Structure 1
Amino acid sequence: MPLHRLHVPPADVSGTNLRLALNTPAPHVLASATLAHPTGSELVLGVLGASHIVTVGTFSEQVSCHHVDDSTHLPAATEGPGYRMSSDTAVHDEKSFRRIAAQLRSRCELEIGWLGGSFPGDDAALTALCAEPDGPGWRWQTWHLYPEGGAGGMIVHTESRWRP
């Protein structure tokens, strides 16, 4: 899957404002990739404005600053029927942040099942997603990178699983 160099400023500029919304309509997707499951189902990875949406069938997971009224702050963990998600937010020093950003960019450019969107102004302003089949369902991870002007940056990482 490709790394898309997006020509729009990120709409979500702080990882602390991210929220989780399940099964809600998606805002405009800036980049997407569709993955096929051996059973015939499809999963769509989508990059929003420094945030993401993953859709499989009628289920969707959106981590963004949209849907403020009908979503919750990004929880450390949550579960529902057939679904679970965990998240972690960490601040990295400049060297570590740049190394992680470079690794994610490379994986998006070279590996199957990956999608990335980079934003203007800083090579490390990046949203990266990857997914793979997991039994009859799917599992995926996402990374949202927020540079802090030469002082490292914040990385919000999520891991999710969905099964019908």
Structure 2
Amino acid sequence: MSRRPGGPEISDDPVAVGPIATLSVAYADTSAARLGFSLDAPLQDPLAVRDAEIDGITVSVRLLGTSHQVVLDDGVHRICETVACLPEVASAVPESFQQTGYHFTSRVEQATADRFATLVEQLTALVTERSAAGFPCVLGVFPGHPHAVTAIVTDASPEEISWRTWHAYPNAGEVVVTASHLTRDRVADS
């Protein structure tokens, strides 16, 4: 573990053991317009991953650089949400998408340097808190660029499993924020 000046403890392992991970690749800024969306892209090698079981459903949150995969698997059925800059993920990220039991929304926020600094502080606290509560969460920090982060935070209720993501692009002044939820019976039906 290492500590950024004034920041949280960060795992030096490229695949995270803790909720805060320094990613093993250099930061390459992109923009919201380059991201794609898929529910059936192949699994990618993650830079950081956190897994947990929630009532018999394995939830895996996976950072792929400035993108993510969230995989829910009940041992029989699997759903894999991918938001990434990958050839396999050619569909643009929709503002809203629904499929039986699954709902996805996204938005792009404009951000200043001060807003990015505040966002990183807030995400660090949120990821740490939710992870301590037993939920799979991860915040990936790119080396040398403290505001370039990608984060995934999960939650659950008796009816659904939900997650939110943040993809920060400081050079473009953009943050892509997504929110998804999946009814528990949807995993069993997929």
Whether the TM-score (by the shorter chain) exceeds 0.5 is yes
Whole-angstrom CA distance in 1 between matches of 2:98 and 2:158: 18
**Given the alignment of the two structures, is residue 87 of structure 1 paired with residue 103 of structure 2, yes or no?**
no
Find runs of 4+ consecutive structure 1 residues off by over 6 angstroms: none
TM-score by length of 1: 0.88
Whole-angstrom CA distance in 2 between matches of 1:153 and 1:12: 10
Task: Report the CA distance shift for 1:153/1:131 in structure 2 as closer, same or farther (over 3 A).
Answer: same
Larger Rg: 1 or 2? 2
**Given the alignment of the two structures, is residue 14 of structure 1 paired with residue 47 of structure 2, yes or no?**
no
Q: Which has a greater percent of strand?
A: 1
Q: 2:62 aligns with which of 21, 46, 56?
A: 46
Whole-angstrom CA distance in 2 between matches of 1:45 and 1:9: 21
Q: What is the match of residue 97 of structure 2? A: 78
CA drift of 1:2 comes to: 1.4
CA drift of 1:136 comes to: 4.3
Task: Report the CA distance shift for 1:67/1:12 in structure 2 as closer, same or farther (over 3 A).
Answer: farther
Q: 1:103 aligns with which of 107, 122, 125?
A: 122
Query: Which amino acid is 2:84 matched to?
Result: S
Whole-angstrom CA distance in 2 between matches of 1:56 and 1:135: 16
Structure with more contact order per residue of length (Cα contacts < 8 Å, sep ≥ 6) = 1
Percentage identity across paired residues of the two chains:
28
Q: What is the match of residue 117 of structure 1? A: 140
TM-score by length of 2: 0.77
Whole-angstrom CA distance in 1 between matches of 2:157 and 2:90: 27
Whole-angstrom CA distance in 2 between matches of 1:29 and 1:11: 16
CA drift of 1:147 comes to: 1.0
Query: Which amino acid is 1:80 matched to?
Result: Q
Q: 1:31 aligns with which of 34, 48, 67?
A: 48
CA drift of 1:110 comes to: 4.3
Query: Which amino acid is 1:16 matched to?
Result: A
Q: What is the match of residue 141 of structure 1? A: 164
Whole-angstrom CA distance in 2 between matches of 1:27 and 1:12: 20
> Contact 2:37–2:82 at 8 Å: present in 1 too?
yes
> Which runs of 5 or more residues in structure 2 are unaligned?
1-17
> Which runs of 5 or more residues in structure 1 are unaligned?
none
CA drift of 1:86 comes to: 0.2
Whole-angstrom CA distance in 2 between matches of 1:60 and 1:99: 30
Deviations 1:1-38 (A, max 9, x none): 51001121246622221110112212211111112212
The CA RMSD measured in Å over matched residues stands at 1.9
**Given the alignment of the two structures, is residue 160 of structure 1 paired with residue 177 of structure 2, yes or no?**
no
